[in-house]
Amino acid sequence: PHPMGRPHPAGCVVYDTFMLKHQCTCGNTNVHPEHAGRIQSIWSRLQETGLLGKCERIRGRKATLEEIQAVHSEHHALLYGTSPLNRQKLDSKKLLGPIGQKTYAVLPCGGIGVDSDTVWNEMHSSSAVRMAVGCLLELAFKVAAGEIKNGFAVIRPPGHHAEESTAMGFCFFNSVAISAKLLQQKLSVGRILIVDWDIHHGNGTQQAFYSDPAVLYVSLHRYDDGNFFPGSGAPEEVGSGLGVGFNINIAWTGGVDPPIGDVEYLTAFRTVVMPIAREFAPDVVLVSAGFDAVEGHLSPLGGYSVTAKCFGHLTKQLMTLAGGRVVLALEGGHDLTAICDASEACVSALLGLELEPLDPSLLQQKPNVNAVATLEKVIEIQSEPGGGHLGSGGGIWGPGEV
């Protein structure tokens, strides 16, 4: 129990203005959808709605280079985790070997970066990306240790595309993967469920735990037979070695006509995500909470029509796992109204507040034909001997109780 007999605070939030400084030197946010206004507007929304007053705020900090190396190579950690100012203090030979030839390109906008999405600001980006990781670490460790009940990390840049030695898709360091690895190493957390509902597949997170049976990675993403960024995340990618069966890709296919929305996501949770998660019985749940599947995001960065409030209900379902130890980390999503609405819904769920009800007619609807095919394929693959979690049976007919 909490000291003084108070209940553990729920709906804890972490945010730091350091993360606002990761901005392309060109200064044009129209060219760069992953801009500081994303987390500023979410933070403002939580303030305006009075939710922030109900939350306990956790102090962030910058992750150390050593912590970042739980997932990333030393070279990658130094490349993106140091600025010209602190680089001189480090062993110059270690750095200036490969880092002397920086891998940055000049972008069409006039700034520099790894690519047009993944921009870099030599003075400020390293502090921002380390702060994003450190904020999530602080929150996740407090939840896993039982000091607080659950929480939401309002962080940027996102992380789930970052691989061991590759920055891509707006991501440099994989905050969720680093947090999971360190919960394993430092707190001996036994089983960790990572749910990634960003519309893009979390290739970096999948890679980090592909052979690890103690981390169940479940991603719901637009796949379109590999034609949607980043192109990975086929349902056949089930893990390797001891990790077979602990990587689950709900890979939607068939574009956006018919649209994919609440019915499809609720049905995926009812038929695949929640049954497998309950069987796995995680000690902690980490959510890569990208909100680019929310209506308002056009292709190529979206295209789906899930409502913001649906994500509140999905959060509430995940809170029935792991004794309620659930940590959400912002990933993608750039339509400000959509990401603010969704963040508000998720924080409300974490606080245990009454959620805006979903449309009751959803209960009568069947998921679209492409989605049914996707879910049937996932269930078939996951029911195979050796890798399977799901017994055959139960048809896919709708979202069930909302």
Of 308, 286, 261, 291, whose CA–CA distance to 49 is shortest? Answer: 308
String of b and e for 104-130 (b: at least 16 CB within 10 Å)? eeebebebbbbeebbbbbeebbbbbbb
Residue 223 falls within a domain, yes or no?
yes
E strand or H helix that includes residue 309: helix 308-318
Q: What is the pLDDT of residue 8?
A: 81
Q: What is the pLDDT of residue 47?
A: 97
Q: What is the pLDDT of residue 239?
A: 96
Non-local (6+) Cβ contacts of 393 within 8 A are none
Domain that residue 373 falls in? 7-382
Residue 391 falls within a domain, yes or no?
no
Of 219, 256, 258, 272, whose CA–CA distance to 400 is shortest? Answer: 272
Q: How far is CA 299 from the centre of its chain?
A: 19
Distance CA 41, CA 47 (A): 10
The pTM of the full predicted model, rounded to 2 decimals, is 0.94
How many CB atoms sit inside 10 A of residue 211's CB? 15
Phi, psi of 121 (to 5 degrees): -120, 110
Q: Considering the candidates 161, 200, 221, 313, report the single residue annotated as catalytic.
A: 161
Number of domain units in the chain: 1
Which three-class secondary structure state does DSSP give residue 64? coil
Residue 389 falls within a domain, yes or no?
no
CATH number (domain holding residue 304) = 3.40.800.20
- Rounded average pLDDT per 10-residue block, the chain, 402 residues: 62 95 92 94 98 96 98 96 80 55 80 90 94 98 97 98 97 99 98 99 99 98 97 97 96 94 97 96 98 94 96 99 98 98 98 94 91 96 71 60 58
Note if 161 is an active site residue: yes
Residue 388 falls within a domain, yes or no?
no
